[in-house]
Amino acid sequence: MTEDIKIIVSNDVIKGMTRLPNSVQTKALEFMLKFQTDPRSPGINYERINAARDKNLRSVRIDQAYRGIIFQAPRDNVFIWLHVDKHDDAYAWAEKHKMSINPVNGALTLTNLTFVEETVKRSVAPAPTQPNPLFEDLSDRDLMALGVPEEMLPAVRTLRSEGDLDALQPELPVEAYEGLFLVLAGDTVSSILASRETRVDRDIDTEDYAAAAERDESRSRFYVVEGENDLQEILSAPLEQWRVFLHPTQRRLATRNFNGPSRILGGAGTGKTVLAMHRAKHLAGTLVGTEKKLLFTTFTTNLALDIEDGLKSICTDEQLRHIEIINLDALVYRLLKAKRYEHEIAFDFEAKCQPLWEAVMVDFDPSLGVSSNYVREEFEQVVLAQGLTTRDAYREAPRKGRGSILSRQKRDALWEIFENYRLQLSTKGLKEPDDAYRDACTLLSDEESAPYAHAVIDETQDFGPQALRLIRALVQPGANDLLFVGDGHQRIYAKNRATMSSCGIDIRGRARKLYLNYRTTEEIRLEAISLLEGVEVDDLDGGCDEIVRYKSLLHGPKPDRIQGASMESIHEGVEEFIREALKDNQDTKIGVMANTTRLRDQLATHIREAGYKVATVNHRERLSRKDAQIFAMTLHRAKGLEFDAVVIAVNKEMNQDMRKLVYVGMTRAKRMARLYL
């Protein structure tokens, strides 16, 4: 490819390749490679398309039956591959579409003109009772600043309900759809643009397709081919959209400079893990040629393993050499072992700590007026969370969110229990993980420099204060040092609620959000959030998060919620659900989730007996490598995973913690879900 030629490929072409017959795929790829080497080669016959309204569209011959549609920019040797199809279909497609550059935000846009005309036609002569157009208060410039292509303005002007907007969504750029629903949720155009960091203050040259292709908005749907082997690599790897096409906000956050720690919030399925992986790739790229390392850490082991596979699919070997992917507990274990730490870290509370806790609680005096559960929570949420080691420190400690005030005498009485418990642990050579994190922090503070240059942290909501302090201590303070992604709605270990600022992590001015759910249908998302009604959700830094601004791109059937079913009818129902899920697509991946291991195993056994192959997802297992279609797991194991269809059974009261757990489980589903309560 010569320097002055730019080849761009649309996501439609990249997605569409797999739908072509194999022989056509091969020919299309061969053609693209030839085209990439020299788009002006005499061997390539550009045919004008007489009926096309965009006069820059051309067709090229792939074989006797298939044609490619290419946009030839008015100047600068820029060629954009837009579509591949059978001859007549390709021509019909070309007649409908128009490429342009959004004159306000400078993004490449492709508009289906016929769709716009039909939308406008349908809306003429509104009945007098119809509501006003949704965006009548916004100027054309505002709409284009949000990402609406100029050619789509007439269609957007006809919208009168959220349903109308959803019907337009498949034809709108993602950022335009997102901008419009944020306006409906009450945001102003300027606040949306500011939080996205979209620039609309430049003069846009609407004929400069080379410059437009580089903008983050364009890159959410167009890929700029970088070098000789680039296109082949893209097309031969698994065609998961997230590897190549990021939401403009994902791309910006993955690559921008932050002058310190940053935190990205986003509801389930909004692409936080995807963003985190691209951020790691980007930062690792800056470390090539140095000895420095980036830490990618998560709470759950299974997720760390899947992220490792994800990173391998987007990073070069050189970049990978600078990334260490490990869940935090495993990292702490390794770190302390290397320092000849004398204690065993009691990761398994039930097996290691519970008997000792129960033994010291024998002396607990009920006349203190608090329950034994309250005492354990006090130990976790105040003593362990703040790393308190003396009675005096506990007497003075703030107890925000603990509900009741404890007199000095009561605190002293509780301290005796706590001290005694730690002593019992110590005689057995054990430490609770929070205390071990604290010890690791102290050991690190003796070192000359922190072991990592950067860290990217997924599932931040499940890291407690000691874990956050340790993460801080593991990374050299500086630009781009820490990127946290998380979602308070998905906190499944309530004791781990933390405030980043009180753990030495200052994210002021560097907090951002993702809004678009790429995974679940809107129907599943709404059903899942209805479980969280009345549950207070925090923003990981002492403030509140809200849910009204999230939205899904996909639609599908409303999930079922079935209450009070007998075990027998749950078994029948689960089997029927699986049959239904597999009906149209035998490759459907199904998650079967339960709140206990016992219930999980019961369901798995029943499904196996019904003739299906079921894999049980355990600790430290890569889901992506399991040879099965149906996966049974506890709700705790479901974090970070995804399935086409999810069926959940819960046999316990739906308290706040359980609601969050079920929320996590249900938002793993892409298109079908059912819940038994």
Q: Is residue 518 a contact residue for ligand ATP (CB under 6 A)?
A: yes
Among 218, 270, 480, 634, binds ligand ATP (CB under 6 A): 270
173: amino acid identity, one letter: P
Our CB check for ligand ATP shows the closer of 4 and 587 to be 587
Q: Is residue 247 a contact residue for ligand ATP (CB under 6 A)?
A: yes
Q: Is residue 261 a contact residue for ligand ATP (CB under 6 A)?
A: no
- The CB-of-669 to ligand ATP minimum distance in angstroms stands at 11
**Angstrom distance (rounded) from CA 529 to CA 206:** 42
> Residues 272-311: x/- map of binding to ligand ATP (CB under 6 A)?
xxx-------------------------------------
Our CB check for ligand ATP shows the closer of 109 and 250 to be 250
- The CB-of-577 to ligand ATP minimum distance in angstroms stands at 21
What is residue 439's DSSP assignment? H
- The CB-of-267 to ligand ATP minimum distance in angstroms stands at 7
Task: Please give the C-alpha separations between residue 424 and each of 122, 344, 360, 377, 385, in angstroms, as whole numbers.
Answer: 75, 13, 8, 19, 20
SS (H, E, C) 180-198: HHHHHCCCCHHHHHHHHCC
Our CB check for ligand ATP shows the closer of 102 and 270 to be 270
Our CB check for ligand ATP shows the closer of 242 and 577 to be 242
Among 105, 496, 521, 667, binds ligand ATP (CB under 6 A): 667
- Cα 456 to its chain centre, rounded Å, is 13
- The CB-of-624 to ligand ATP minimum distance in angstroms stands at 12
Q: Is residue 266 a contact residue for ligand ATP (CB under 6 A)?
A: yes
Q: Is residue 418 a contact residue for ligand ATP (CB under 6 A)?
A: no
User: What are phi and psi for residue 121, nearest 5 degrees?
Assistant: -60, -45
Q: Which of 572, 571, 592, 566 is nearest to 672 (CA)?
A: 592
Q: Could you tell me whether strands 294-298 and 323-327 are parallel, antiparallel, or unpaired per DSSP bridges? A: parallel
Please indicate if the annotation marks 37 as binding a ligand: no
Give, as ranges, the residues between 227 and 246 that touch ligand ATP (CB under 6 A): 240-242, 245-246
Q: Is residue 519 a contact residue for ligand ATP (CB under 6 A)?
A: yes
- The residue whose two tokens read 């299309």 is 28
At 404, list the tokens.
Answer: 């009741």
Question: 302, 622 in Cβ contact below 8 A?
Answer: yes
Q: Is residue 671 a contact residue for ligand ATP (CB under 6 A)?
A: no
Q: Which residues pair with 142 in a beta bridge?
A: none
Our CB check for ligand ATP shows the closer of 54 and 487 to be 487
Q: Which residues pair with 633 in a beta bridge?
A: 593
> Residues 476-505: x/- map of binding to ligand ATP (CB under 6 A)?
-----------x--x---------------
> Residues 61-80: x/- map of binding to ligand ATP (CB under 6 A)?
--------------------
Our CB check for ligand ATP shows the closer of 518 and 612 to be 518
Please indicate if the annotation marks 665 as binding a ligand: no
Question: 228, 477 in Cβ contact below 8 A?
Answer: no
Question: 590, 555 in Cβ contact below 8 A?
Answer: no
**Angstrom distance (rounded) from CA 668 to CA 206:** 41
Residues listed for the chain: 677
* Strands of 294-298's sheet in order across: 323-327, 294-298, 454-457, 482-486, 262-266, 511-514
Question: 574, 606 in Cβ contact below 8 A?
Answer: yes
Please indicate if the annotation marks 268 as binding a ligand: yes
Binding residues for ATP: 266-273
| Binding footprint of ligand ATP on the chain (CB under 6 A) | 240-242, 245-247, 250, 266, 268-274, 487, 490, 518-519, 640, 642, 667
